[in-house]
Amino acid sequence: MVSGPNFRVRNAIESSDTLCTYEISGNFRINNYPRPVNLPDLQDASRPPSGQPDIPWFRKRFLPSRSPVNIIGEVSRYVKTVCRCSLSPGQGLETRGFVEMSSQNVYVIGHCHPDTDSIASVIGYAELLNRQEPGRYIPARCGELNAETRFVLSEFSLQPPELVESVEPSVADIPFLYPHRAPEEMPAIDVALMMDEHEIRNIPVTNREGRVIGLVSEYGLARAYVTPERREQLVIGPISQATLARILEARVLVSCSEELNGRVIIVIDALHNALSTLTGQDVAITGDNEPSQLALVSAGIAALIIAEGAPVGDRVISAAQGRNVSILATPLDAFSVGRMIHLSRPAGQVMATDVPVVRPEDPLAYAKQMVSNSRYRTACVVDSVGVLLGMISRNTFLEEIHKSVILLDHNEFTQSVDGIESADILEIIDHHRLGAITTLKPVSFLNEPVGSTSTIITHKFMETGQVPTVPAAGMLLAGILSDTLGLRMSTTTEKDKKAVAFLEGVTGLDAAEFGATLIEQGMDLVHATPRDLLLADTKQYTLFGRDVIIAQVMMASDDYPVCRAEEVRRELEILRKEHGVHLYLVLFTNVMTTTSFLLAAGDRNTLLGLEYAVQPVRLERVMSRKKDFLPVFGQKLRSL
């Protein structure tokens, strides 16, 4: 729960791909308003939560990118919109919405071919960071999980990190949407007043379900009311009697019709002509003439408007009650009454329907194009069923908008999630060689020569005196044991061993037994096709002007690469052409004998130069792709 002055926000009580609903409690004071106002007084009041009967709660929907901290600013803006007022300085909700809402969620994400270390480090680091800023850091992945990782997640009853296919900025990343909207029955004059008050040029129009059905623009209002064509007949409605009374500043002396919808007749003279055309749906306007008032009431019209503050006698009121005719008395003159009625046409009658629409998942570039190409320079943001979430305009794009990410277990664009070039990279943590990557600003970059990224994350817990939860500790332990093959690989360091000992204490697991189980779960060679194996654990590099992909498959015997070498080589060549790389290699690593078998696809001269003409190539004491194979392979490639 996040607190503000007289104000609290609970975590999302329900969510979907397009909306989160937050419950908000509190009260505030409005300038020149005689009493404190509770948030539930505004809209959609809900019953108090269980166990807190004294706290009223208010429900409001926001885009899912909002955190509870962001809601404080947005609710302040929303309150001002609904109440059409300003908040008293220093009282109630703070009005720092635009600043606070610049905060956004951060994806903690690994490489595009996630292994257990990548997934484990993401889960562990997000847990650590969320202890300082709850809910802000989202563990994420950008690829499918392998069998070993699925087993570990199941073992600790954890959900997979969120699948993020691209970090290209989308509409959901926009920090503020204009919340203003007009129900289709709202009088046009109220829409115009809303535009003037909030200094906006367009207002979306919604139906009873909240779906966008059109847009009222300054241009549209001008076309509706400033036109060379003369209207043959003044009409009204549909409009509620109460709304009409408010617009006319009128007193309701007799109330019979809740809604008015018909012609409007101004009766100044020629009363007999007017009486011959009036129906029970019509509204008449007259002044200080009791005989005319009585005659119009007797005609059985829907409502009679008495202009210029003229007196209304008891006989007229009694007759109106008997004939079910509403009577409104206004200080406005008859001409002004007609003009205001003309301006009270429902928004649904003056709106345009060619309103541009975008959804939260749409790319930001697409949204910009929609706004730029629109005659209104505006677009409405809607959910999957067309419910309005807010509005964007050209001003929305004055500042750059990026998704924020923290990269784990890699530091190269070629291994990153799609759209990384446009993301705001906040931090990089890795244990691989340095690659080519650029950032928008200086970032924290931690690269250590240890056996796994999970080791680095575990030491962050240890150095800060914190203990991960058992599920997170189990994932980190699996990440270390997986990347070091149970601490057998040459990349294993003392820091890896210390991290394993710490995590054993947290989880109560025996690392040797757990590591053996992991290896067994990760070696599904029987049911997987060669293509699946060659795509499951890959790293792409650019070495000395050549693009290279190196896959690695763990095994417990030498049978697979020896018996199925030709089948694997054919699939390697297909994958090489599909990915457009110079070389596609695979290491089949026997974890029992610490031996690897190499199979490769590439042009014949390159393979001859690398001494890979006869395959599979047996590589003694090669366990680590990064430490044992890549340096030697790189030197061979360099010498070609």
Long-range contacts of 627-635 (CB under 8 A, 24+ apart): 627/489, 627/490, 627/491, 628/489, 628/490, 628/596, 629/550, 629/587, 629/596, 629/598, 630/433, 630/541, 630/550, 633/550, 633/585, 634/543, 634/544
Q: Which residues contact 216 (CB under 8 A, 6 or more apart)?
A: 182, 188, 191, 202, 203, 205, 347, 350, 351, 352
Non-local (6+) Cβ contacts of 148 within 8 A are 115, 116, 482, 518, 521, 522
Confidence check: pLDDT of 87 > 70:
no
pLDDT beyond 70 at 357: yes
Give 559's pLDDT tier (boundaries 50, 70, 90). confident
Q: Which CATH superfamily is domain 106-169+404-521 in?
A: inorganic pyrophosphatase (n-terminal core) (3.90.1640.10)
The mean of the pLDDT values for the chain is 81
pTM, to two decimals: 0.59
Residue of 587, 594, 640 whose CA lies nearest to 616 = 587
Confidence at residue 232, expressed as pLDDT on a 0 to 100 scale: 63
DSSP one-letter string for 63-86? -TT--HHHHHHHHHHHHHHHHTS-
185 and 348 in contact (C-beta within 8 Å)? Answer: yes
Please name the helix (run of DSSP H) or strand (run of DSSP E) that holds residue 225, with its range, or none: helix 218-225
d(CA 459, CA 280): 82
Residue from 567, 543, 546, 548 nearest 616 by CA: 567
**pLDDT (tens digit, 9 = 90+) per residue, 238-276?**
888 988 998 899 999 999 988 888 898 888 767 877 788
pLDDT of 159-197, one tens digit each?
999 999 999 988 888 877 888 889 998 888 888 888 888
Q: Which has the closest alpha carbon to 596: 481, 521, 490, 453?
A: 490
- Say how many C-beta atoms besides its own lie within 10 A of residue 232's C-beta: 6
pLDDT at 497: 96
Q: Would you state the structure tokens that stand for residue 4, as one six-digit string?
A: 């503000």
**Residue 75 vs residue 391, higher pLDDT:** 391
Within 330-473, strands assigned E span: 357-358, 378-382, 388-393, 404-408, 424-430, 444-447
Output helix, strand, coil percentages for the chain, rounded to the nearest 5.
35, 25, 40
Confidence of residue 229 (pLDDT cuts 50, 70, 90): low
Q: What is the DSSP letter of 146?
A: P
CA pair distance 628, 622, nearest whole angstrom: 5
Tell me, which fold does domain 250-331 have in CATH?
3.40.1390
Residue 555 — very low, low, confident or very high, per pLDDT cuts 50/70/90? confident
Nearest to 343, CA basis, from 253, 236, 231: 236
Band (pLDDT 50/70/90 cuts) for residue 477 is very high
DSSP annotation of 159: P
Q: Domain coordinates of the chain in residue numbers?
A: 2-100, 106-169+404-521, 250-331, 530-638
Of 502, 538, 637, 516, the closest CA to residue 582 belongs to: 637
Tens digit of each residue's pLDDT (9 = 90 or more) over 32-52? 333 344 444 333 333 333 333
Q: How does pLDDT run across 386-422, given as a tens digit for each residue? A: 899 889 988 888 778 888 999 999 988 888 999 998 8
CATH topology of domain 530-638: Diaminopimelate Epimerase; Chain A, domain 1 (3.10.310)
Q: What is the mean pLDDT of residues 443-453?
A: 93
**Helix extents (H) in 543-618:** 559-563, 565-579, 604-609
Instruction: Report the pLDDT value the prediction gives residue 105, as an integer from 0 to 100.
Output: 85
- Say whether 557 sits in a helix, a strand or coil: coil
Q: Quote the pLDDT of residue 193.
A: 86
Between vectors from CA 143 to CA 139 and to CA 144, what angle results, nearest 5°? 105
The amino acid at residue 444 is S
- Of these ranges, 33-47, 282-296, 491-505, the one predicted with the greatest mean pLDDT is 491-505
Report residue 115 as tokens.
Answer: 């292994």
